[in-house]
Structure 1
């Protein structure tokens, strides 16, 4: 059997036809789809797409939340030798134009009316887009746009075709080869247009299997599919590894029910970017601040125990009898209920990736008994490059190269990777492909780092972002903005940070407060406010954030490498950074350069020694309208600390 996505589907359907493959929550009820049921659905959709005219080698856009029928459509396209291209469901219509035009897309599969409206709005800019297929018919009864058809209708057409030609689908699946293109993922486009990353069945499934072997994943795992399908991390964990291992993927009812669904499913294998773990911890801290003094005291006491004992227990290191006893009591009274409240009671392996996670945040989860580990990879490497082995987990590394991976560090500190999971190319962009792939097969990651004495990879920052302080007392000191940002984001009151300092005499940062956490904090102090902008500029809030900044500075002062990266000045932005305003990517990564240009008067004011600066910003609302937000922002100085000399 050739190892391809549709071939693996048929293999599972033949070996355990009645076992659950996917579950979907609708109207509060979990409904299971068996492997044989999924195979039949994929066959009917594939036959329907064939009748509609989808050709081998064509790209087909998929837009929507995680739904079994959307995953089945991806498999159906792959069964015909076509190439699914998932786009972010929360992207504005204008953001979809480039991928659709770049990939010469004729067919699009979308979830609901919202996505149909989006594509109809941009159709005049996408001349080849002829067929729009929708899953959820609600609200679309009176739509009569040409080429707009329901998935149910397509399935009926496909069912009739399959009945008349019973061997046709299997023959089409057999034509698909491992080296055929399986999917294309568009990068987040932090600079310029996004690039289409081309992957084959072989590259994606090779890395999916390598990751599964590393953590001994089986068909008994339970996974919650809640991240965007367009993100390769979601694709690997809930699609490639789903088919490689045959475990169950669960699709939540909606974005608003994910927390409830997480508790109901109790996943054994979990994956989330740091932002999700930050949000969960913030909610925990908000609840604890509202708890009684006795409960807060118990929580704080046992969390101190957890910080001392938990990470060593997770790594299999010996701890004293008294510490074990205290940890056991804490597990019964605090850690166990907390894991259950988070939905992590059954988690055997949890991963975070996408960007660096703050060490304090990482240690918190491991200290309460959650086997949270870091991995290193990217869209271009099919995710899995380095993973952390159990009992060798450290907050400051991203693990060891796994099977099939070679790593080399260039003279400038850049990490180079050779792997069976590397991209085939950037679509229609040979110049960009040549920039990242060498003739002898090495991929330029653009990340700076090194392999330590134990063989673990340590990432410092992006090569282009790592800089030096120029002038002042810290002249020549190393500056790693992401490291500083993550240290600050550990605090529950801070949601986002943008740090500047390369080529300047000091480090200054923009800060977004966490509106829920700070709002709760303000309400308990009877501090009135009239929305985000008003709350962000309260003197009391500035004092709260200043204390967080100075705690980070104290921590940085003992870091011989980054003591010069302490924050000298900060301001709290008048609005939350937003992907719709171009300030974040769709994977919620900060677009630091764009923000610097957009808020240049604020950057100049911070470095110019001013104590306040007026700013007016155009914002885009969810319904597509635009408006403006203006405020006079305070700029505050923060205390810095003399570097602590290491003992001789």
Structure 2
């Protein structure tokens, strides 16, 4: 007999309109079973393989998840066990995470480009005995760790190419594991129901990590009720609705992907489309034309850079038409943000622009059906923000954190402002501490860092999450995020500033990929800039500027003038004491493998200060250049040294 389930469906005229009642006191496994029961024939997941989209219905997904869960249990996986998940976005990897959660275990996704040392840290932290790897590359990475992490007894792989001749104890293919589990389900009729109800609302949903800007990433275990409370809050805040179509391309180790692709995807019955490869995301985006798209500002910037590069290669007439209507659209959006209404003539011209430019461009990008467009993770440049809104895409800013299941606040569709992140979502309380820190309280917030009571005590106080972000709440309830509280520093003259705030504004330029602003305890500010190789490379080619490498391009006098113009533009909006006086273009990008940035591209300032100490000292001297030696880490894990003379530029 089926047990009473807290996840109920609202009564309606027919099964097509039944909906989850938004009660977070349930689990993803139970919601998956409900989807299969009521919408079994509907497509739940698609995955492009060998050029063909493969479809999986909700019934297919449930059967696969339960079979794999039964197979894992047969291998000895129990509640409290950890499953490392390594690879790019793949349907089977998502199913494996759901299977681990159904058994009360910790699914721990790892960034696919994580170094062996990082994987070892995660495996040791959770004492992982199981790993789910996408392909041979990821399998090799896990097998190499066995000497240092002997507990990794079982390695399951998805793609068998290159693995047929492996004779390694504990290595098993997905199909073999699934078939073994399916046999158990046939032989034990009660097992299916037992697995569906095995996990509990207070059990783990996913094991992810903080960004780790000041040290090793901290483990964050989000409960089933945490992630579902986050989805419930976001739904009530009209962030998204039932039945959205999404492209699951974000790194699986980032909470944003799990919150949207898995938690919301299962709870709200999304159609979850998985791209063929990370390199084909834009092509697959056009094929799918999703209704919901979440991307970091850098992804939106990269798409805009691609558009502008293509327009540079277009005919002069097409370029003039494009520029004309984009300028009209941006001007109209500025008026709307100021509370003004475009004139009848402007609206007529915008309709013409939609027919000639906006509509065809959105079709080329796969944005024609987009109902919800979100950006989060850091501030977005005004030019980029207005460009997409000029196309008719209702782009909105989202504010979330790993510790709060990704959803804190979001701009309302009809109340978008450039400087805020909207009001806190329903179910989320926010207030500002005396030192300016943003505090949050919600059912979506975690219970503490994994085996780290000291960090937990500093972050969770009297039921409030201390976010570490500085900000304020405007009189009408809109939340403004300024930057990290820990990054509030002072110059030697007493000027108070947040480096990240200035850095984000410099990165608004498509020509700048990363930048580190310096000045703590110094008389004035300087900067170290990493140019964007694609955007600057195309800019140089159009102007006939030859170069042979990233390092060579970065040191061209013309490129220095280009970057100087970007910094001058930002300086104009800063007080005199916080204007950048000198800068250097670095000969390489900041690299996560070198420990200079996190996998989510946040600066590790202590590492950067150490690696580029010679450049920093030269910037605060009378030197006109500096000889820089930098250690780099290759994909193989081997290291090398790159050496270059870097110019130092006055602003």
Name the TM-score class by shorter chain. over 0.9
The answer to whether the aligner puts 1:550 opposite 2:573 as a matched pair is: no
Gaps of 5+ in 2: 7-25
2:482 is aligned to 460
The answer to whether the aligner puts 1:449 opposite 2:462 as a matched pair is: no
Q: Deviations over 1:581-631 (max 9, x none)?
A: 111111121222211121011111111232110001111122333222111
TM-score (normalised: structure 2): 0.94
Residue 547 (structure 1) shift:
1.5
1:7 is aligned to 30
Moved more, 198-207 or 477-486: 477-486
1:229 is aligned to 252
1:594 is aligned to 607
Moved more, 359-368 or 125-134: 359-368
2:21 is aligned to none
Residue 8 (structure 1) shift:
0.4
Residue 344 (structure 1) shift:
1.4
Structure 1 residues 220 and 422: alpha-carbon distance in aligned structure 2, compared to 1, 3 A threshold? closer
Q: Deviations over 1:110-151 (max 9, x none)?
A: 111010000111111112111011011000011112111111
Tell me if the contact between 1:479 and 1:502 (Cα under 8 Å) persists in the aligned partners: no
Tell me if the contact between 2:204 and 2:224 (Cα under 8 Å) persists in the aligned partners: yes
Tell me if the contact between 1:314 and 1:366 (Cα under 8 Å) persists in the aligned partners: no
TM-score (normalised: structure 1): 0.94
1:587 aligned counterpart, secondary structure = coil
1:161 is aligned to 184
1:645 is aligned to none
Tell me if the contact between 1:451 and 1:457 (Cα under 8 Å) persists in the aligned partners: yes
Tell me if the contact between 2:385 and 2:395 (Cα under 8 Å) persists in the aligned partners: yes
Structure 1 residues 17 and 366: alpha-carbon distance in aligned structure 2, compared to 1, 3 A threshold? same
The answer to whether the aligner puts 1:585 opposite 2:607 as a matched pair is: no
Structure 1 residues 520 and 15: alpha-carbon distance in aligned structure 2, compared to 1, 3 A threshold? same
1:642 is aligned to none
Residue 72 (structure 1) shift:
1.1
Structure 1 residues 282 and 467: alpha-carbon distance in aligned structure 2, compared to 1, 3 A threshold? same
1:603 is aligned to 616
Taking only aligned residues, the RMSD between alpha carbons, in angstroms, comes to: 1.6
Structure 1 residues 30 and 79: alpha-carbon distance in aligned structure 2, compared to 1, 3 A threshold? same
1:637 is aligned to 650
Tell me if the contact between 2:33 and 2:196 (Cα under 8 Å) persists in the aligned partners: no
2:487 aligned counterpart, secondary structure = coil
Q: Deviations over 1:350-378 (max 9, x none)?
A: 11111222233222222221111111110
CA distance in 2, matches of 1:268, 1:490: 26
CA distance in 2, matches of 1:248, 1:185: 24
Tell me if the contact between 1:479 and 1:564 (Cα under 8 Å) persists in the aligned partners: no
Which of 194, 204, 216 aligns to 1:193? It is: 216
1:425 aligned counterpart, secondary structure = coil
Size of the aligned set, in residue pairs, is 628
Residue 483 (structure 1) shift:
2.1
2:118 is aligned to 95
1:515 is aligned to 533
CA distance in 2, matches of 1:110, 1:254: 15
Which of 629, 634, 637 aligns to 1:616? It is: 629
Residue 216 (structure 1) shift:
6.2
Q: Deviations over 1:518-552 (max 9, x none)?
A: 11122222221111111110111111111221122
Residue 315 (structure 1) shift:
9.5
CA distance in 2, matches of 1:552, 1:289: 25
Tell me if the contact between 1:314 and 1:391 (Cα under 8 Å) persists in the aligned partners: no
CA distance in 1, matches of 2:501, 2:365: 26
Which of 328, 348, 359 aligns to 1:305? It is: 328
CA distance in 2, matches of 1:509, 1:282: 23
Moved more, 168-177 or 592-601: 168-177
Q: Deviations over 1:179-212 (max 9, x none)?
A: 1222211222222222111111001111112212
CA distance in 1, matches of 2:186, 2:259: 33
Tell me if the contact between 1:107 and 1:131 (Cα under 8 Å) persists in the aligned partners: yes
CA distance in 1, matches of 2:522, 2:136: 49
Which of 65, 68, 82 aligns to 1:42? It is: 65
Moved more, 257-266 or 69-78: 69-78
1:105 is aligned to 128
CA distance in 2, matches of 1:505, 1:116: 51
Moved more, 12-21 or 343-352: 343-352
Tell me if the contact between 1:469 and 1:504 (Cα under 8 Å) persists in the aligned partners: yes
The answer to whether the aligner puts 1:120 opposite 2:120 as a matched pair is: no
2:314 is aligned to 291
Tell me if the contact between 1:614 and 1:631 (Cα under 8 Å) persists in the aligned partners: yes
The answer to whether the aligner puts 1:532 opposite 2:550 as a matched pair is: yes
2:46 is aligned to 23
CA distance in 2, matches of 1:593, 1:356: 22
CA distance in 2, matches of 1:115, 1:49: 19
Tell me if the contact between 2:236 and 2:426 (Cα under 8 Å) persists in the aligned partners: no
Q: Deviations over 1:20-79 (max 9, x none)?
A: 000000111111100001011111101111111101121111112211111111111122
CA distance in 1, matches of 2:369, 2:319: 26
CA distance in 2, matches of 1:580, 1:315: 44
The answer to whether the aligner puts 1:497 opposite 2:520 as a matched pair is: no
Tell me if the contact between 2:240 and 2:372 (Cα under 8 Å) persists in the aligned partners: no
